[in-house]
Amino acid sequence: MSDNSKDVMAIVDLFEQSDWDELHIELDGLHLFLSRNADARLSSGLGGAPAVAAPAAAAAPAPAVAAAAPAAPAATPMASAEPASGGAIPANWVAVTAPNLGTFYRSPKPGAAPFVEIGQVVTENTEICLLEVMKLFTAVQAGVAGKVVQVCVNDADMVEHGQPLFYVEKA
């Protein structure tokens, strides 16, 4: 068994021991997507094909172990935050916050339509954006049902853990 195969198996073992729902790694020609959902498809551009591990060339360095889980961030009313209009937040608006730090992306790939637009109705499980850290993408879910009323961050901006990304008017 090659070193790369051992690395992939070690990552699979770590995934199985974790409480993560999905893991996506792209490193030096290696594309690894693991999911606990057998029907899952990688939405960030591998053509919707079933996810498989494609070992990198033997000369490639060992992939770094990192975690990515679609996050349903704490969707809680943010009484102290203010919307872009500068006024107080209505009581039925809920902030969808960043589950971790990273680069915020509104769409699955450059040039593609955003995951959600202002005025769009979302469910708790609707993917609304991606956060990227070191080429590792975390799909962020709305965590609340309602209508998107504000986008708080510009595409490709760095965000911090807990920073409001969107406001959703609860249904």
Reported as a single tens digit per residue, the pLDDT across 110-149 is 999 999 999 999 999 999 999 999 889 999 999 999 999 9
List pLDDT tens digits, range 39-92: 666 554 444 433 333 333 333 333 344 444 444 444 444 333 345 555 688 889
For residue 32, give every residue at least 6 positions away whose Cβ sits within 8 Å of its Cβ, in sequence order, or none.
8, 11, 23, 24, 25, 26, 53, 54, 63
What's residue 139's pLDDT?
94
Model confidence pLDDT, tens digit, residues 92-104: 999 999 999 999 9
Name the strand (E) or helix (H) holding 13.
Answer: helix 3-17
Q: List domains and CATH numbers for the chain.
A: 1-69 (no CATH), 75-170 (2.40.50.100)
- The overall pTM is greater than 0.75: no
